Amino acid sequence: MIRFAADYFDGRTSRAHPVEAAAEAGQLRVTGEGIDFAVALDRIVVAPPAGQARSVVHLPDARELHSADRSALLELSRLIPSARPERWAHLLESRLRFALAALVVSVLIVFAGLRWGVPAVALVASHTLPAWMDTRIGEEALTLMDRTSLSPSKLPAARRQALEAELAAHCAKRACPPYQLLFRDSRLFGANAMALPGGTVVVTDGLVALAHHDDEVLAVIAHELGHVQHRHSLRLALQSVGAGVILVAVTGDIGSVTDLAAGLPSLLLQTGYSRDMEREADAYALAWLEAACIPPARFADILGRLDDDPSDTGLLDSHPGTRERIAPFLAHGGCT
Ligand SMILES: [Zn+2]
């Protein structure tokens, strides 16, 4: 029987649970404090080691086991139908190339950090970090915001569903980055929308109330999808913590995820994105609206209204040059 000690991640939080895993009779049994389940071996994937100290066993539902016991995992991989030793060797070989590439990337990150400072490091790191990290940071940030600054939406369910359906219909026709649309009420955020790492787009009741047309809400969501597409919120979080933590994050330290998530809400509210990031998100929104046959002026309309509202502390007006930003949206005549 193969037995090994591991850290178990439940796929919902970034907390590590120490567990023992044992493979027998076609199953992997995982036991620990309050944890006892078994997964059929043909439903797990053992990731070959990629130069890190610990290997990862992927379980269904984004659950993972991280273990330093390589010999046990190698044996385990032999039991799995899809990962015969030949395949394992092949993967190791390709992983070696991957490890070399990762080394080069790491050196570049350090070089970029020295040469151009933290924003550049954050940019490189945001493209290097695995997607699950975005998701975890986003989930933790949302949990934190739900506890502190957001409350459940007071919009009628039918209103929310209508907006969700309109967005889904547009995204079915053209590629949108993977997203999850959520509605929340928030006095702190006012009329606002924000994109969290991992693709969660939060729209406030205030923004829906401010809109004169559903297309205006969709236009703001399109802008947020631009932030999602370019992983801006992850970059924002990374920039705030500095190069040291970024390097720790690149090596896969779970604790740093919590650090990154903790700072994000106030960053989104107070610091906001850089002008360049806003420009990128605007360009995405403009192309999106044209393809969706929504007059780009809808974005200008609601942005102008946000700008006129002196009580609003929202993201959209926290950047100077609203007039400059909306000009391209007014210049476009709509779809052909
Ligand atoms: Zn923005």
List, run by run, the mean pLDDT of 10-residue segments along the chain (336 residues): 90 86 91 93 77 75 85 83 54 64 68 63 72 84 89 96 96 89 93 92 96 96 94 81 57 62 75 85 93 92 77 49 81 68
Tell me, in angstroms, the distance from the centre of ligand 1 to residue 285's CA: 10
Q: What is the CATH number of the domain that holds 44?
A: 2.30.29.30
CA dist., res. 219 & res. 252, Å (int): 36
Domains of the chain: total: 3
Is residue 293 a part of any domain in this protein?
yes
Print burial letters for 208-240: b (CB count within 10 Å at least 16), e (below 16). bebbeebbbbbbbbbbbbbbbbbbbbbbbbbbb
Q: Is residue 98 part of a domain?
A: yes
Distance 217 CA to ligand 1 centre (A): 13
pLDDT the model gives residue 50: 58
pLDDT at 249: 55
308 and 252 co-located in one domain: yes
User: What separation in Å is there between the alpha carbon of 273 and the centre of ligand 1?
Assistant: 6
> In this structure, is residue 336 part of a structural domain?
no
- 188 in the same domain as 136: yes
Q: Please say which residue of 71, 97, 126 terminates a domain.
A: 126
CA of 185 to the centre of ligand 1 (A): 19
Same domain, 211 and 290: yes
Helix, strand, coil distribution of the chain in percent, nearest 5: 55, 15, 25
Does the pTM of the predicted model rise above 0.85? no
Q: Is 44 left (phi over 0), alpha (psi -120 to 50) or beta?
A: beta
Do both 188 and 281 map to the same domain? yes
What is the span of the domain harbouring residue 114?
A: 88-126
How far, in Å, is the centroid of ligand 1 from the Cα of 202? 12
CA 196 to ligand 1 centroid distance, Å: 11
- Tell me: do 179 and 112 sit in the same domain: no
- Residue 65 belongs to what H/E stretch? strand 64-67
Same domain membership, residue 299 and residue 227 = yes
Q: Would you call 36 helix, strand, or coil by DSSP?
A: strand
Give the count of alpha carbons within 13 A of 292, CB side only: 26
- Same-domain pairing of 45 and 176: no
Cα 169 to averaged position of ligand 1 atoms, centre (Å): 23
Same domain, 148 and 222: yes
- 328 CA distance to ligand 1 centroid (A)? 16
Q: How far is the CA of 227 from the centre of ligand 1 (A)?
A: 7
> Do 197 and 209 fall into the same domain?
yes
Is 10 in the same domain as 42? Answer: yes
User: Could you tell me the distance, in angstroms and rounded to a whole number, from the CA of residue 253 to the centre of ligand 1?
Assistant: 29
- The per-residue b/e assignment along 302-322, b for 16 or more CB within 10 angstroms, e otherwise, is bbbbbbeeeebebbbbbbeeb
Q: Does one domain contain both 265 and 147? A: yes
Q: What protein residues have CB closer than 5 angstroms to ion ligand 1?
A: 278, 281
Boundary-marking domain end, from 83, 117, 149? 83
Q: How far is the CA of 306 from the centre of ligand 1 (A)?
A: 13
User: What's the CA-to-centroid distance between 281 and ligand 1, angstroms?
Assistant: 6
In a domain, 66, yes or no: yes
Amino acid 246: pLDDT: 58
Domain presence at residue 34: yes
Name every residue whose Cβ is closer than 8 Å to that of residue 169 and which is 6 or more positions away in sequence. none
Identify whether 314 is part of a domain.
yes
Same domain, 318 and 297: yes
Q: Which two tokens stand for residue 28?
A: 């992997």
pLDDT at 81: 67
Which residues, listed in sequence order, are joined to residue 290 by a DSSP beta bridge?
none
